[in-house]
Amino acid sequence: MSPLRDEAAQPLMLDATLDAPELVALRELDGGALLELTAALSREERPSGSAAERRAMEFAADRLDAAGLSVRWFEHDAFVSLPGRARLLVRGRREGADMEHEQLQCITHAMGASVRAGCWPLVDGVADADGPPGG
């Protein structure tokens, strides 16, 4: 599916602060196709320098080439930060049930600063997976 909008699609609400070329490009975008592209690129983790990263780059380059854009590859040594092991322990109460802590699945953020062992930063609240409290 092409990320360009079908001519029969509904008109877009346009932001008057965009210039003419941006408005033309915006009118041609298809949100559904862009979501499909995002889903395709999100299927696997892509650590820097991995085969998965190369596959994602090849996928993107193929799409750009198909749209008539030229693609140039540059490879060089670079400083990278890969997410490491982490755990998030939440202490408190949930729906009236006491709990010492609950461990949530997580990864570190690339280039994120480390915290000292035992550091318990304050968190306003943690929502259930179904949505925010009261929502």
pLDDT along the chain (135 residues), means of 10: 53 66 84 89 86 92 89 84 74 65 75 67 56 46
From the number of C-beta atoms within 10 Å of its C-beta (0-12, 13-18, 19+), residue 134 rates as exposed
Beta carbons of 100 and 90 less than 8 angstroms apart: no
Check residue 135 and give its pLDDT.
45
pTM, two decimals, is 0.47
Which residues, in sequence order, are CB contacts of 109 under 8 Å at separation 6+? 83
